[in-house]
Structure 1
């Protein structure tokens, strides 16, 4: 259970609220997407409060380390893409990891505009220590599923990711009438001039 209501209570309340709006609602699809988000948030919170806390890592910093650990020295733009974060976010995370002596950055030997990240020996050591504990928590959170159900779930989620990656840009363009997306805002209001 996340929050103070169960998933089933929330789904029931949503049906009650939206049932009379006059707009047809695709409940199964809404529940699928909502539960992807809730599952991801619950898993992330569990991992950050357990195995990652002891290593003084956030979810994002672990994912960055993991990407570089798996792929080896990699261009920062590819690390950001693989980690699902912006290049600006990666800059901050990489600075923190560099300050801890876990990653190093260097210019690309063939293109000075590009930057490469690699794990240091200490980063390699930390990942060798943290990953088995991380994987044990992956087993814990999926304990109620059989191996076959885990494979089915992974396949279903993979299909959602592939659809979104392959068709998402075209869908966004159609929804926005061909206009580019409005730049993201932090949520803060602009400061007023004096």
Structure 2
């Protein structure tokens, strides 16, 4: 069990007790809850094991991974592929630069754009840590056969494609065509 989390069976019972006969699409609710819980559990496991040994967060590893795979890349593309905001990328990139793992340069033809590339130390770190990371990928998917792992990857990919393809239209529909309000931290405004 992940520290601070209820066992999944307890959570499922609590949801059933709370919702009772409320008309909801339970299978879809279970799927999305499972995606979230699996993602959070896997991320926490990786950060507390293989990534802890090299002092990386999940996000910093993903940024290094994107640049390692893609080579020198514009910052906006790195942020998009890592699934983070440009502001978050700025902080992560600064930290990785400070550790000598990443370098930031100005785009040669458009001074408004910046490029990220791994340093030799960053290349060495990724070559060292990725096999360990992949071993943990094998550990967390251990209960699945190779075919089941591929089926799961395909199902998750279909969900990603659904949101990437139709999510913007759905957002506009739900918000009545309006832009979303700025995100809030959850704190109440100071009086």
TM over 0.5: yes
In which range does the TM-score fall when normalised by the shorter chain?
over 0.9
SS at match of 2:180: coil
Q: Does 1:188 align with 2:187?
A: yes
The runs of 5 or more residues in structure 2 that have no matched partner are: none
Tell me how far 1:4 sits from its aligned partner: 4.8
After TM superposition, the structure 1 = structure 2 runs for residues 34-183 of structure 1, keeping only pairs within 5 Å, are 34-183=33-182
Q: Does 1:25 align with 2:24?
A: yes
Tell me how far 1:7 sits from its aligned partner: 1.3
SS at match of 1:135: helix
TM-score (norm 1): 0.95
RMSD after superposition = 1.1
SS at match of 1:154: helix
TM-score (norm 2): 0.96
How many Å separate the matches in 2 of 1:189 and 1:113?
A: 36
| CA deviation string 1:128-168 (max 9, x = no partner) | 00000000000000011000000000000000000011100
How many Å separate the matches in 2 of 1:110 and 1:31?
A: 49
The runs of 5 or more residues in structure 1 that have no matched partner are: none
Dislocated runs of 4+, deviation >4 Å: none
How many Å separate the matches in 2 of 1:158 and 1:93?
A: 26
How many Å separate the matches in 1 of 2:83 and 2:54?
A: 22
